[in-house]
Amino acid sequence: MVQIPSDQIKSREILNWKGLHLFHFRTSSCSQKLRIYLNLKKISWTPHSINLATGKNYSEFFLGINPKGLVPVLVDDGRVEIESNDILMYLEDKFPENPLVPDSDTTEIGTLLKEEDDLHEDIRNIAYRYMFGGLGKKDPDELDAFEKYKSSNSELDYLKLKEVKFYKSFRENGITDEAVKNSLNNFCKCYDKFESLLNKQKYLMGKNLSMLDLAWFIYTYRLYVSGFPFKDRYPKMSEWFLDLYSRKEFFKEVNDPLPLKLIRLYAKTSTSLSGKSIKALLTK
């Protein structure tokens, strides 16, 4: 778990908040995953939207909570947790009814969620190239101030530099064809594995829905919208996705609750604006 100790929280007022509070953003993939979880578990929580598109994650208030400038952040009666998968595990421990971890085995799901988290930069590459267009560009002055910001946690200050590097490179070079190819390769390795599992089971970890399905639903949604040919390449995965997408707990949390026909149309348009399509860059 990545808990930020309370003596390191500079925006002290949040430490007095009662109950579950979530800093999130509507279109953030990690926030979407958490909100789907909260919907499925029927857990009530207080939302605090941090607008990533207008740089609110670089405000002094928010950096005083998470110096990495990332959502989601959970605040539970003054306890501050970051990292979406750790937040999921924390909540699962606190709300064990209707479990979303199979057979209470946290080791296997921990490994699989880490594999998913390791692909975060890959989903970023896809989303910034095919979904967000120029909207993902950060204001250079805000980015500089973010880079220079010093919190009382030198480890988080160091980890933040990875974010700065990504956004600087995105501003200068966009997301290159090479980066998209590599990211697609990484996704295909996982999808190859999941496709064969889904030939014998309904969900990614067996016969019951788990957090892993939530996590991969979000990635699959993004790739789908970006024009990844799931139906041709991974038909079982495509069925699995459409089933989850038809459920209101999932559907209402992803970007725009559009009918799938419109999403496919959107995928075509966004692809034509973003250079070579995903289909053209799929190498295997």
Q: How many CB atoms lie within 10 A of CB 178?
A: 9
Residue 238: strand pairing partners? none
Nearer to ligand GSH, 67 or 72 (CB): 72
The CB-of-210 to ligand GSH minimum distance in angstroms stands at 17
Nearer to ligand GSH, 81 or 195 (CB): 81
Q: Summarize as ranges the residues that interact with ligand GSH (CB under 6 A).
A: 28-30, 52, 57, 70-72, 83-85, 117, 120
- Min CB(215)–ligand GSH separation in Å: 9
> How far is residue 264 from each of residues 135, 193, 271, 273, measured CA to CA in Å?
21, 25, 11, 15
Closest CA to 212 of 54, 260, 220: 220
Nearer to ligand GSH, 28 or 277 (CB): 28
Residue 167 CB, nearest approach to ligand GSH (Å):
7
Least separation in angstroms between CB 147 and ligand GSH:
13
**85-89 LR contacts (CB < 8 Å, sep 24+):** 85/113, 85/114, 85/116, 85/117, 85/211, 85/215, 86/1, 86/2, 87/34, 88/33, 88/34, 88/37, 88/113, 88/211, 88/214, 89/1, 89/113
Q: Tokens 């995965």: give the residue.
A: 237
Cβ 190 to ligand GSH shortest distance, Å = 16
Cβ closest to ligand GSH, residue 9 vs residue 156? 156
- As a residue count, the chain comes to 284
In the numeric block, which tokens belong to residue 252?
């209402």
* 3-state class (DSSP) for residue 234: coil
Helix, strand, or coil (residue 174): coil
**Residue with smaller CB distance to ligand GSH, 120 or 168:** 120
Query: Closest Cα to residue 199, out of 232, 162, 227, 240?
Result: 240
- Rounded to a whole number of angstroms, the minimum distance from the CB of residue 199 to ligand GSH is 29
Which one, 118 or 192, has the nearer CB to ligand GSH?
Answer: 118
| Ramachandran category for residue 78: left, alpha or beta (phi over 0 → left; psi -120 to 50 → alpha) | left
Q: Which of 160/181 has CB closer to ligand GSH? A: 160
Please report how close the Cβ of residue 230 comes to ligand GSH at its closest, in angstroms. Answer: 21
